[in-house]
Structure 1
């Protein structure tokens, strides 16, 4: 069943969500999707149903290396939890406000849902490697269990509205308690697939005058809802189960902890209707399209057929989760370039831009897979013919590809490796040990 917010959407980035089967999406309602930790293999997209699923607050980002830290929600007091390093898999997908995104697009403090696996190769992990049973250990000091999962290589990282869209859920506002344009809301997530909209979770969330409220293409605030009579000037009011989508963060809250102040989450945004989130998704989609065109499309190499004197034909699978217009630029007979990268998608070399050291050639075939496409893959495979193959283009290796119509850009130093594809800048040692 397609979630109602998607049924009439004209936004391609929102329609992407329905390519995932609802059965897999429902796995996000469980803390752990598999009993046995799963380690991805080179050249294979890992099955989502084997991911360990958790959520936490984004507290650190190293965007150039596609890694960061989450304060993971466990069984204890959330504010005590130490930041937990994570890395995006090379084919890992980031979603923000219902659209494709890069880590640099997501504000610190945003609460994110993560679907993670063990490091594919612990020897080259860009974040610390933990014991496999880490998520079952009690961290002590009121922190509890589950805050340091060893599954810190992420296939899918998504904010709250993106998560709800994917799994077919919405939030229903039950009651608001307001004073001086701030207060609390009692709200429940409900699964739209249930005919009765049965609530699975109920939370008490804080909000304040800085909470952004979106209605169509309009941004309003708490004071506007009060002036319209939708919310009270002061005190409590029933909201009758009003369906919305929420953006969620965490911030310090007053209280002694007995009232949940140590674990309470905060509402950063409220989308009152479908049009409001579609509008936000469209802006985010355009931001991401510009980003990918400047950094090139990531893919991995399936096969290389070598010819004479450096000639070769490369078969590669484009990674998934992006706007359809980007994939449409990959056409037969289009001139293109391929450059080697490493697991963080940083270009190899690049003193004069990635195009300076890339293999030049032409796309000679484009094929689209039929049937179910694993998350992380676009299902689109290209064949590229070049007269000068470079070392970084080998089977199972990750590459980036630029169709000739995309611009040639110069990248900042932190986004490429200086003639050493195994260089990591900086090393995992930047993450403190708590």
Structure 2
């Protein structure tokens, strides 16, 4: 299975922590370097999918359960990965532990989440919470669950020992390099229970199945001899006053199971993008007469290759301006297709050189006879080949044409109907 997401990311080297210490603010029209991102991880506790933002309980140096949820926003070209495949925020269950690569807000004046002091990650939050739980770097380039993170970095979890009673218990494991791992990675104790899903090939098992097969004991401890697996990790309240302990939601026992999960998630995301349109930003505009123009735009990265394959020379297409949240700004009463510029893709080219994360490296030239206000250099757009489905989006995913205001990016209780 070919993912532009994986080909763009797998070739990247491990982040240089020293290089990421200095806060970095992205510039409009430039994809920021991944090595300058601040890295952290936390539990997903809130999602505002229509505005591509949410909150994470960030792991710090103190008691995890006491940490306040920390708001984050996806950059327009920010990528979400779930089960080793492209995803949208709406696909990720609350409670999932996610790895984050993030920057300062590109433009603090229009940030969709609070703007914090640049050194906020160094401040001690007190009350046993410690430092690092509210970084100013809250605009995300890459958000990935545990299995996506391990696949990207070439790691596996090696299971050392299981201790079980009544189909729940603890597993001692370490995250290590898949190739050349020496079994000496830092060990971590993770909980599991009867709801933990265990994937083997195309089967979905549970803890009781492994006990029945004699692979795990019904009670007590058993060595697992460093069995290599992939894990899904969440957080839940823990008995015994443990400060920080994570929980296993899923165990993938083999590559077939991992590939199956990635395939299912990819199909979900492909259907989503075809209905919401491919995001891009405008590189240049050549104006003609009477509203004619040719727009050069770079398609964003992180999608399945089959989506990019639909962008071909001479294909009819639609283009519409969108917010930095990727919410369509000109929706009309029937959705974006009613107000979008219509035209033809004149050229599709692959940008030479290394493709930065967030970019597909694919550039299109789109010609229209009626360009709209939202199509200017560095502005964000969405593009749809005419062959993609023409569906009407739900109301919360586009702004009313002609009545847009900055307050629309920060919904208040007024967004709810009055009964």
Q: TM-score, length-normalised on structure 1?
A: 0.92
Deviation per residue, 1:172-208 (Å, 9 max, x gap): 0000000000000000000134x24354321100000
- How far is 1:23 from its partner? 4.8
Q: Distance in 2 between matches of 1:313 and 1:156?
A: 31
Q: Which residue of 2 aligns with 1:90?
A: 76
Is residue 260 of structure 2 the alignment partner of residue 279 of structure 1? yes
Report the counterpart of residue 206 of structure 1 in structure 2. 191
Q: Please give the alpha-carbon distance, in whole angstroms, between the structure 1 residues aligned to 2:12 and 2:302.
A: 19
Give the alignment partner of residue 15 of structure 2, picking from 16, 24, 27. Answer: 27
Q: Structure 2 CA distance, aligned partners of 1:21 and 1:292?
A: 23
State whether structure 2 residue 380 is matched by structure 1 residue 389: no
Inter-CA distance 103–23: structure 2 relative to 1 (3 Å threshold):
closer
Select the residue among 317, 340, 343 that pairs with 2:321: 340
Q: Distance in 1 between matches of 2:275 and 2:89?
A: 16
1:36 aligns to 2:22 (yes or no): yes
User: Would you say the 8 A contact 1:137–1:145 is kept in 2?
Assistant: yes
Gaps of 5+ in 2: 414-419
Deviation of 1:413 after TM superposition, in Å, equals 1.2
* Equivalent residue runs for 1:124-143 within 5 Å: 124-143=110-129
1:17: which partner in 2? 6
The CA deviation string for residues 16-61 of structure 1, in whole angstroms up to 9 with x for no partner, is 424335553x228x5x751210000000000000000000000000
User: Are 2:284 and 2:377, in contact at CA under 8 Å, matched by a contact in 1?
Assistant: yes
Kept in 2: contact 1:417–1:423 (CA 8 A): no
Residue of structure 2 in register with 1:378 after alignment:
360
CA contact under 8 A between 2:10 and 2:152: conserved in structure 1?
Answer: no
> Whole-Å Cα distance in 1 between the matches of residues 407 and 277 of structure 2?
20
Q: Which segments of 5 or more consecutive residues in structure 1 lack a partner in the other structure?
A: 1-10
CA contact (8 A) 1:33 1:53 kept: no
Can you list the C-alpha shifts for 1:207-251, whole angstroms capped at 9, x where unaligned? 000000000010000000001111001000000000000000000
Secondary structure of the structure 2 residue equivalent to 1:171: strand
Say whether the 8 Å CA contact 1:189–1:199 is kept in structure 2.
no
Query: CA-atom RMSD, angstroms?
Result: 1.5
1:409-424 correspondence to structure 2 within 5 Å: 409-419=391-401, 420=403, 423-424=406-407
Counterpart Cα distance in 2 of 1:272 and 1:33: 36
Residue of structure 2 aligned with 1:161, choices 141, 147, 150: 147
Matched length: 411
Deviation at 1:422, TM superposition (A): 5.1
Residue 171 of structure 2: aligned partner: 185
Q: Structure 1 428/72 Cα, relative in aligned 2: closer, same or farther at 3 Å? A: farther
Deviates more, 1:306-315 or 1:364-373: 364-373
Deviations 1:47-101 (A, max 9, x none): 0000000000000000000000000000001010000000000000000000000
Where 1:19 maps in the other structure, the secondary structure is helix
Of residues 384, 391, 409 in structure 2, which corresponds to 1:402? 384
TM (norm. structure 2) is 0.95
Contact 1:135/1:148 (8 A) holds in 2: yes
> What is the CA deviation profile of residues 356-393 of structure 1, one whole-angstrom value per residue up to 9, with x for unaligned ones?
10001000000012321000000000000000000000
**1:4: which partner in 2?**
none
Partner of 1:294: 275
Corresponding residue number in structure 2 for 1:150:
136
Matched, 1:118 2:101: no
Alignment equivalent of 2:251, drawn from 270, 273, 276: 270
| 1:321-340 mapped onto 2 (5 Å cutoff) | 321-340=302-321
Q: Does the 8 Å CA contact 1:18/1:166 hold for their aligned counterparts?
A: no
Find the residue that maps to 2:239 and give its secondary structure.
Answer: coil
